[in-house]
Amino acid sequence: MTATAPKGRLLRGGRAVARAVGVWIAVTGALRLLDVLLPGFRMTHWWQPAVCALLLGLLAAVVWPLVMRIAYPLAFLTFGIFGFLLLGAGTLAVFRTVPGVEVAGFRTAVTVTLGMAAVGALISSLLAVDEDEIFFRRAARRRRRTPAGETAVPGVLFLQIDGLGYDTVRRAIRDGDMPTFAAWLAEDSHSFTRWHTDWSSQTGASVCGILHGSNHDILGFRWYEKDRDHVMACAHPADAAEIERRHSDGRGLLSGDGASRGNLFSGDAAHVSLTMSSIPVLVPKKLLRRHRDRLGAGYYAYFANPVNALRTFAVALVDVFREISASVRQRRAGVVPRIPRGGWYPLARPGTTVIARDIVVSAILGDMLAGRPVVYADFLGYDEVAHHSGIERFDTLSVLRSIDQQIARLHRASRLAPRRYHVVALSDHGQTQGQAFSQRFGETIEAYVGRLCGGSPPPAAASSGKRRQAESWQINAALAEATKSGGLIARRLRARVEDAECAEDRPRTTSGSPGAVTRVAPGVVAVVSGHLAMVSFTEHEGRVELETIEREFPDLLPSLVDHPGVGFLLVRSGEFGPVVLGRDGLHRLATNVVIGEDPLLPYGPHAADLIRRVDTFPHCADVMINSRYVPDSDQASPFETHVGSHGGLGGPQQRGFVVHPRELRFPGEVVGAEALHRVFRGWLAELGHPEPAGAPVSEVVA
């Protein structure tokens, strides 16, 4: 961690006044220019531009933040356009109150509004008083006011790049796609190492383990619980809260006034935003914890500045065109693997890659300004685009470069905050690329299992598989938090969040209604999570043994192990205990006896231990299916319609990374998210953070 602060470009003395005067003069000049160039807009007296510029400044400073409190949900959905339409209406009202100003109509007023916001952004850039510079100025003032020694204990920023594997990071550093990481390593200020995920290599298991120190019984991003006839989904608010309730002891990584930004779980943080387990409008009160942050405060603070809104809108618009261009280029070049990327996806993608990213960064700046001891934030954009484009395609690496830029911003800010901060970058898992199972073999794994178990063939559309936007949960969390009111539109938007995990190809109903989980065949439920599929037989209580499955569904296991898209199965034998079955051999986990070729050889030295652990989970499925990984091509076929995917064992998906300051020691090989939690907890203790005390769960009072 470098102690010296970067050279700023702040104006010396009277900064706020200089900025206000500069913007006022610029807006006055812009209004004069628009008077000449814009048809339908005319000012007849010399004094009108100056007066209108003053009134528009008051409108943006006072009225805009109030408007955004009401209009945020629609502004979010329209990348800020709706907010500018409302501000345009205010601009029209201002012009019509000034005698002699002629405005043709609403369209002209909106054009003037956009022009004024653009001028404000330009002046802020020229005077270096943008969001970062404002943060630096406030931080410097707060440092001067902070008594010596009061913030001697350094804080820690844990910045997670979702889905970015160790192997991809190495190549990105080498090729110049992550210059911030490259600079850290070149300066010898940070170390770069890897860690091994659990069998369930996905955000739910990893983040719960990292933040709460336990991911016991989390089988996938979604899994079936036979005793409740319910499909748990990490991206469903009520389920996320239930998962956190099961694993939290009040002593999470972020307990003690920490902050959770953009995560599935809170880590017992006192300050949360875009956190799925902490959405009061969708989570039962008995599952909620008390948080001090006002709901949606981070969004309002960010979008209250029209310059931020305009900048985010412009970058989001560029991202839409980038997605469309990348999709067209893949189709024209015949790139394989690829998936359909049309429909609403080009418009939905910037919600994760731009809007949520900017809000999270803004919230972290606020956390540093407040001197919070530890912050954990998730940057989801890379994972989302890698699912649809590929793990190292050009547009995916473009998103990765933008995240690297934001980490550089936060690193600069950390050196000027009221307390010192260590910056730690990490991932929750990697991704393994390959052509989707349904594309290679013409049907989904659920349909295949259903057919083998005597179910009716699904319609052709369902059999071909659908693209699942499992990693767009940050957008859903933002919509849910932003629509906390009880109006009609808010209720409809919250219903969309509830339905996000309830599509036709997902065996789940709204709120997980008992007894309504879809069967792929009579008495058979199949649930998929990336490279993992789980089959449960609902007519039997508890774990169904191998011998019973062979008797009741004689074609199922032989057909699965012989399928070219299946790597191995985990089943429980009444005679031998947990057994891993492959095409050319089996592995008895209880005795480590291998007959034939060990089916776990391609999956690394930790595979047996990780699978043995999952076999002990109370809700372990009757048949656990892992996709086939081919080391020669470094590919596997996911059971969801993705290009880059994860969720099981096989290849880069099981190798996460950690980039950390050298003074924070990293042990040898770290296997599992719970072990990584212990490493991070040790760092906090080493830095002098107090040991967290257990805290009882408290309900949020409406």
| Residue-level pLDDT at 619 | 97
CA nearest to 647, candidates 527, 506, 561, 528: 528
584 φ, ψ (degrees, to nearest 5): -120, 15
Residues facing residue 683 across a β-bridge:
none
Q: Parallel, antiparallel, or unpaired for β 644-645 and 155-161? A: unpaired
Compute, in degrees rounded to 10, the torsion defined by CA atoms 502, 508, 511, 512. Answer: 180
Eight-state DSSP code of residue 254: T
CA atoms of 161 and 400, how far apart (whole Å):
9
CA atoms of 23 and 7, how far apart (whole Å):
24
Residues facing residue 658 across a β-bridge:
193, 426
Q: Are 388 and 339 in contact (CB under 8 A)?
A: yes
| Per-residue pLDDT tens digits for 125-165 | 555 444 555 555 655 665 556 554 445 799 999 999 999 99
| Per-residue pLDDT tens digits for 318-375 | 888 889 999 999 999 999 999 998 888 888 888 889 888 988 998 898 899 889 999 9
Contacts of residue 79, defined as CB under 8 A and 6 or more positions apart, other chains included, come to: 312, 313, 316, 317, 350, 355
CA nearest to 497, candidates 518, 515, 474: 474
**69 band by pLDDT with thresholds 50, 70 and 90:** low
pTM higher than 0.95? no
| Per-residue pLDDT tens digits for 455-485 | 877 665 454 454 444 456 666 666 566 555 4
Does residue 583 have a pLDDT over 60?
yes
Does residue 122 have a pLDDT over 80?
no
Does residue 564 have a pLDDT over 90?
yes
3-state DSSP assignment of residue 566: strand
CA 318 to chain centre: 20
CA atoms of 175 and 51, how far apart (whole Å):
53
Compute the chain's Rg from CA coordinates. Answer: 27
Q: Could you list the beta-strand ranges (E) of 175-328.
A: 190-196, 222-225, 230-233, 259-261, 271-273
DSSP 136-156: HHHHHHHHHHSPTTTT-SPEE
Does residue 683 have a pLDDT over 90?
yes
What is the pLDDT averaged over residues 683-691?
94
Q: What percentage of residues in the chain have a pLDDT greater than 90? A: 54
| Residue-level pLDDT at 504 | 46
**261 band by pLDDT with thresholds 50, 70 and 90:** very high
Contacts of residue 456, defined as CB under 8 A and 6 or more positions apart, other chains included, come to: 450
| Per-residue pLDDT tens digits for 417-455 | 888 999 999 999 999 999 999 999 999 999 999 999 998
Does residue 587 have a pLDDT over 80?
yes
Residues facing residue 580 across a β-bridge:
570, 587
3-state DSSP assignment of residue 281: coil
The two three-digit tokens of residue 279, written as one number? 């959405």
Does residue 283 have a pLDDT over 70?
no
Does residue 10 have a pLDDT over 50?
no
| Per-residue pLDDT tens digits for 193-217 | 999 999 999 999 999 999 999 999 9
**95 band by pLDDT with thresholds 50, 70 and 90:** confident
| Residue-level pLDDT at 1 | 41
Q: Are 481 and 299 in contact (CB under 8 A)?
A: yes
* Separation in Å, CA 218 to CA 199, 226, 408, 617, 638: 10, 14, 34, 8, 19
Cβ neighbourhood burial of 91 (10 Å; 0-12, 13-18, 19+): buried
Helix (H) or strand (E) holding 659: strand 655-661
Eight-state DSSP code of residue 201: -
CA nearest to 221, candidates 196, 253, 197, 191: 197
Helix (H) or strand (E) holding 397: helix 394-414
CA atoms within 13 A on the CB side of 259: 29
**303 band by pLDDT with thresholds 50, 70 and 90:** low
| Per-residue pLDDT tens digits for 387-412 | 999 999 999 999 999 999 999 999 98
| Residue-level pLDDT at 351 | 82
| Per-residue pLDDT tens digits for 613-659 | 999 999 999 999 999 999 999 999 999 999 999 999 999 999 999 99
CA 254 to chain centre: 18
The two three-digit tokens of residue 288, written as one number? 């909620």
Q: Are 366 and 408 in contact (CB under 8 A)?
A: no
CA atoms of 387 and 581, how far apart (whole Å):
29
What is the pLDDT averaged over residues 279-296?
56
* Separation in Å, CA 100 to CA 42, 52, 103, 474, 635: 8, 11, 10, 48, 69
CA atoms of 470 and 448, how far apart (whole Å):
22
Write b or e for each residue in 70-80: b if 16 or more Cβ atoms lie within 10 A of its Cβ, otherwise e.
ebbbbbbbbbb
Q: Among the listed ranges 95-109, 408-422, 491-505, 688-702, which one has the minimum average pLDDT value?
A: 491-505
Q: How many CB atoms lie within 10 A of CB 657?
A: 22
CA atoms of 204 and 215, how far apart (whole Å):
8
Cβ neighbourhood burial of 601 (10 Å; 0-12, 13-18, 19+): middle
Average pLDDT, the chain: 82
CA nearest to 433, candidates 237, 645, 176: 645
Does residue 76 have a pLDDT over 60?
no
What is the pLDDT averaged over residues 260-282?
85
Contacts of residue 248, defined as CB under 8 A and 6 or more positions apart, other chains included, come to: 212, 265, 266, 268, 697
Length of the chain: 702
| Residue-level pLDDT at 618 | 97
Does residue 7 have a pLDDT over 50?
no
CA atoms of 621 and 617, how far apart (whole Å):
9
